[in-house]
Amino acid sequence: MKPAPKTAKDLKTEAASLKVQRLNKNTKPRRELIRIIKSSKEINRQIGHATILLFGPSGSGKSSTINHVFNQNHNFATTSDEYSATRNITEYNITNDYPIYDVKDVSLGVIDSPGLSDTAGLQQDACNLVAIKHFFRENVFPNLIFVVVNAGDARFDGTNSHLSNSLKCLQKLELVDKKNPNVVGVITHTGGFGQKKERWILKFKEKRERLKELIQEQLKVMAQVVALENKPVNHELEIDGDYSILPDEKTKQPRNLYMACSKLLNENGDKFGLLAINSAFTGSTQTPEIGCVLIPKDANKEKLGREENKFMKFCQQA
């Protein structure tokens, strides 16, 4: 097995080489892999590497969602319930081999970003936004964007709420694909709705519909919204193998998040993205590796540049 091609040149070279070779049991797996990668390239996704960007207000639970999805009980990503613990843009990579396609190290990068409405102020928000924009190549969309919000956040509602303003900033980054929508809403801390089934269902439905409305208003796309409780033991959720069951007594998490992702990727024809997310949702205990890390400017110590000032102005008007 060998790695997947990661550049347009490598993809073109291998595709041309396979084209002149006779189709047999040795060449068929890689031919299928090239077809899978091309399906994602055609909708402007990165070649040979899938990405999920976690985006949302400070304290929404982005880092704890990473720990939950990757099954990292020792808190691989730094978390805090009270403030934005994430200061850098950090990519956590998990890889898997697929002998069926004669490929090794198929990678998914889950990108943890600093929260907006940051405790450090609007200037730092602007620095964080510029860094997120620089993280992605021009004209390439993340395979998925998780818009993460805390169910108990009082900043949830209102046209000019912190959440609404965060979504406006996400729109400004031009990472949302309107033609092939790549957004999934994630409502965390849903254990706070209580353990009573009927109350939990009602509360989640209210938050889910509101988040759907805000995403449609600000990002101009439809999105599926799922519930997560990243501390299932604290809320005494029933455990079923690799999953825990939410108080509605039927939703298994994080399987619900995987199902939302796979549905969206299938609808987009993003076959490589779908292949890669299987690496993250297998319940593996493998520790993810840190990939690319981008450090935003420190607004308290560094002078803001042209881009930061542009985003600063936008944040003030949002």
Give me the pLDDT at residue 73, please: 53
Which H or E run includes 131?
helix 122-135
Q: Is 59 left (phi over 0), alpha (psi -120 to 50) or beta?
A: left
Give me the pLDDT at residue 83, please: 44
CB 194 within 8 A of CB 188: no
Rounded to whole angstroms, the Cα distance separating 20 from 31 reads: 11
DSSP codes, 178-221: SSS--EEEEEE-GGGG-S-HHHHHHHHHHHHHHHHHHHHHHH-S
Rounded to whole angstroms, the Cα distance separating 303 from 307 reads: 11
- The residues, any chain, with a CB within 8 Å of residue 244's CB and separated by 6 or more, are 229, 232, 237, 238, 252, 253
CA distance between the termini of the chain: 49
Rounded to whole angstroms, the Cα distance separating 32 from 194 reads: 47
Alpha-carbon distances, residue 311 vs 174, 244, 257 (angstroms): 13, 40, 31
Distance of alpha carbon 75 from its chain centroid, rounded?
18
Q: How many CA atoms lie within 13 A of 290 on its CB side?
A: 9
Could you list the pLDDT tens digit for every one of the 318 residues in the chain?
899 999 999 999 999 998 878 777 788 999 999 999 999 999 999 999 999 999 988 788 888 888 887 765 545 555 544 445 557 899 998 888 899 999 998 989 999 998 886 567 889 999 999 999 999 877 799 999 999 999 988 766 666 677 888 899 999 999 999 999 999 999 999 999 999 999 999 999 999 999 999 999 999 999 999 999 989 989 999 999 889 999 999 999 999 999 999 999 999 999 999 999 987 776 555 678 888 999 999 998 999 999 999 998 888 876
Q: How many CA atoms lie within 13 A of 65 on its CB side?
A: 32
72-78 contacts: CB < 8 A, separation 24 or more?
A: 72/287, 72/288, 76/287, 76/288, 77/112
How do residues 168-186 score in pLDDT, each as one tens digit?
999 999 999 999 999 999 9
Rounded to whole angstroms, the Cα distance separating 149 from 152 reads: 9
Which H or E run includes 91?
strand 89-98
How do residues 5-39 score in pLDDT, each as one tens digit?
999 999 999 999 988 787 777 889 999 999 999 99
